[in-house]
Structure 1
Amino acid sequence: MIPTEASLDALRLAGDELADATVATLFERGEVGTFNTLMRYVSTAGAPLPDGLPEVAREYLHVTSAPPSWVDWTEMEKARLFFVDNNVHITTALSFASMPACYLVPHVAQLLSATHGLKYPSKRMAETGQFTVYLMRPDAFESGSRFIPAAQKVRLLHASIRHHLRRENRWDVEALGVPICQEDMIGGQMFFSMLVLDSLHRLGIHMSTEGAESYYYAWRVVGAMLGVDQDAVPKDLAEARRFLDLYMLRHMGPSEEGVELTRQLIELYEEVVPGTFFDPIVSALIRHLVGDTCADWLRVPRGTWDTVVKAVPQLLGVLETVEDKSPLGAWALDRLGQLTTVFELSSLTRGRVMHYAIPEHLRKDYGLSTTVSPKRRWSPPPAVLDH
């Protein structure tokens, strides 16, 4: 399916019917607080649901308790091994490319500021990191796993945001479409899959087409579990490229919320990196992965590390050579990658498990700027031609 302006416009009018109906009923019956309290005890797949859980929530959890019937488990295992082999690189791409890309979509940046607040980027980063780690565990879809309950809760979280913004008339549906609409959900899926693969390529990581396709396939499964319309989602990397390019052209641009979220993200990771000498590498990595135009929109600081970070692909190439030629070296690097990911996640979560809950209220000071236009387009810099 080739995405068009018309097809993407249609996706802006669609949300997630099942999750939206569930959340609406919980609010109508005043059961959101009860649901959130009891759902803190539902953290693993297959665990008995607690007594007193609202019936509408119980039904939703039953319907969404299993992955799609079409899942190819051989592909999912390939995706898991791809993640294990590249976990530190994927974590880097998620942190320094995928998250800033979200901030490059003005209406998404404003929505994020409404749900988490501009002062707490660590919450969203911790939730995203924890969600990805849950996904790539061998038992992700088995009894006792944490991934399925996390997906169920995130889906309801998205629905609750749609509920609040529309009920309180704090979102211009006519101009911007439904909040967290199908187009934006698929766009987010592209940021966490296709953009990650782009970033690995930019970092000089050698990966097979088969591995890349499997990784993308895993995020298709994630999208299905988060309520993404499978008739609209790109089915392969070629379709994903066309969707991502058109989505970027339609929506990417500068915004004050995007700038502030990026600043907070940079400060957050400067705290994670030990000492202060390497602090500038955070900004340099973001600029390297998203490009100068997007980095300037986000006001990512420039510095001397901008040049140094361009040597990262050569360094990673040396490490890959060691990994290819030495089984012990491969084990050591994989172990280092696992420890790096765990360290980063534990730093963001402060060692706690992140609980996804339905917010009973959004930020009181939230207000969507009326200056944001759905027709605001990204105008790439003109190509430089050699004469």
Structure 2
Amino acid sequence: MSKLKLYQNIEFDQLRKIQDPSADQLVSLLIKNPELIAIINSWKEIPTKIDESYPQEFQSFFNFYLRQNEIPEDILIKGQKLFDQKGDLYLAMLGFYSLPYAYAFGDGAEVLVRSKRILSDIGRRLGETGSFILDIFEPGAFLTKKKAFLSCAKVRLIHAFSRYFISNYGTEWREDFGKPINQEDLIGTNLSFSLIVIRGWKKMGIKVSPDEVSFIMQYWKWVGRLMGINEKYWPENPKEAFALEKLIRKRHVKATDAGNQLIQALIAYYKSTIPDPLISSQVVPILNFFLGKEVSKVLGIESSVPVNGELLGLVFKFSGWKNYGGNKGYSQVARQNESNQLAVYGEKLEIKLPEFNRS
């Protein structure tokens, strides 16, 4: 059955009231038992058996990952092969299209701006996002390499931590924003990491076959399942994907102070850190090109400087060639990413749950 009938305001109004009960229940437990957070952060992957001495919420949450038997092997192999070929361009689209695009979704931006680290330490936050993408697209991820399951579980719990602190301490949170990091927000984020990446490639004249669109969307359906997203609403074909993105965009793209703060912080960061002058000197025009007139206007970053998509594609490819040489692949992208993190932060950035002492 086509999912187009589901893509209605009445359905998505309800999704704004639904979060992720399993993750939220575990975070309530972790807040009271912070020693469990340290245990999770010490893992390299989810243990093959969760000890029955752990509380039930803990067992239930992690056993969900251990019980994933119907793994879409063909889809995962194809997605990882594509990332091996275009990993640098995938990460470029996340930075120049997916993330700024999300800033225009007003109610979701209200969550992001309340995470002070995004504004005060945006580089580390972007680095952690890059580490997550590299974890889930590593050759063998979810198949022979199980770290990707833990990465999804941690990000899912980080979302739940954000919900907990906003719900309990967010005095300025308004009911009309919807519940923090609700199912619609999660679906929209997944779309920005999949469909929007594809759209960005096409804007630069990079060919993407219908089969590639299909297995990228299926890849993120699998990731979405592991991130606590209701698969009922995830599109099964390009037509449904476009309709879903259009609905969420119409519902939520609007000018907000939160979105403005986020995009200005991102622009300032890019201008000061991107080593390629061809890119760093044209940050706003490039963002304007990808985001389009409507979203750029909402974010207040309209530019009169024209950008040629195919030329921009060549610039990104040339930048990738300078960084990785002619033997570009997953290993080279991951190695360069780690090298950059070591140079800036003195450590490889890993996804970690927030640790604190019980008061």
TM-score between both structures, scaled by the size of structure 1: 0.79
Distance 2:200 2:127 in 1: 20
Is the contact made by 1:38 and 1:53 (CA closer than 8 Å) also made in structure 2? Answer: no
Is the contact made by 1:79 and 1:214 (CA closer than 8 Å) also made in structure 2? Answer: yes
Which 10-residue stretch deviates more, 71-80 or 307-316?
A: 307-316
Which residue of 1 is the match for residue 23 of structure 2?
19
Is the contact made by 1:42 and 1:49 (CA closer than 8 Å) also made in structure 2? Answer: no
| Aligned residue type for 1:12 | R
The alpha-carbon deviation at position 336 of structure 1 amounts to 6.8
Percent of aligned pairs sharing the same letter: 21
Q: Does 1:228 align with 2:229?
A: yes
1:354 corresponds, among 350, 353, 359, to 350
Distance 1:149 1:19 in 2: 13
Distance 1:172 1:125 in 2: 25
Which 10-residue stretch deviates more, 342-351 or 38-47?
A: 342-351
| Aligned residue type for 2:303 | R
The alpha-carbon deviation at position 318 of structure 1 amounts to 9.8
Which 10-residue stretch deviates more, 44-53 or 58-67?
A: 44-53
Normalized per residue, which structure has more helix? 2
Is the contact made by 2:12 and 2:184 (CA closer than 8 Å) also made in structure 1? Answer: yes
The alpha-carbon deviation at position 222 of structure 1 amounts to 0.6
Which residue of 1 is the match for residue 106 of structure 2?
106
Q: Which residues of structure 2 form unaligned runs of 5+?
A: none
Structure 1 residues 91 and 355 mapped into 2: Cα distance closer, same or farther (>3 Å)?
closer
| Aligned residue type for 2:211 | E
Distance 2:36 2:313 in 1: 51
Distance 1:24 1:149 in 2: 19
Q: How many pairs are equivalent?
A: 345
Distance 1:287 1:92 in 2: 15
The alpha-carbon deviation at position 130 of structure 1 amounts to 0.8
- Over residues 219-254 of structure 1, what are the superposed CA-to-partner deviations in whole Å (9 max), with x where a residue is unaligned? 111100000011222222221111110100000112
The alpha-carbon deviation at position 311 of structure 1 amounts to 4.5
Distance 2:192 2:62 in 1: 27
The alpha-carbon deviation at position 340 of structure 1 amounts to 5.1
Is the contact made by 1:19 and 1:159 (CA closer than 8 Å) also made in structure 2? Answer: yes
Which residue of 1 is the match for residue 45 of structure 2?
44
| Aligned residue type for 2:75 | E
Which residue of 2 is the match for residue 9 of structure 1?
13
2:328 corresponds, among 301, 317, 335, to 335
Larger Rg: 1
| Aligned residue type for 2:22 | L
SS in 1 for 2:306: helix
TM-score between both structures, scaled by the size of structure 2: 0.84
Distance 1:318 1:123 in 2: 24
Aligned residue runs from structure 1 range 357-368, under 5 A:
357-358=353-354
SS in 2 for 1:126: helix
Which residue of 2 is the match for residue 181 of structure 1?
182
